[in-house]
Amino acid sequence: MAEVKKENWFARTWGKVCKYLRELRSELKKVVWPTPQQVVKNTLIVVACCLVVGVFIWLFDFVAGIGINALLDLFN
As a whole number of angstroms, the distance between CA 19 and CA 27 comes to 12
| pLDDT tens digits, 6-19 | 778 888 899 899 99
Domain boundaries, the chain: 9-75
pTM over 0.85: no
Burial of 40-73, coded b for 16+ CB within 10 Å and e otherwise, reads eeeeeeeeeeeeeeeeeeeeeeeeeeeeeeeeee
Using 50, 70 and 90 to split pLDDT, how confident is the model at 27? very high
Name the DSSP letter for residue 2: P
Name the DSSP letter for residue 1: -
Give the mean pLDDT of 43-67.
98
Q: Are 34 and 42 in contact (CB under 8 A)?
A: yes
| Per-residue confidence (pLDDT) for residue 10, from 0 to 100 | 84
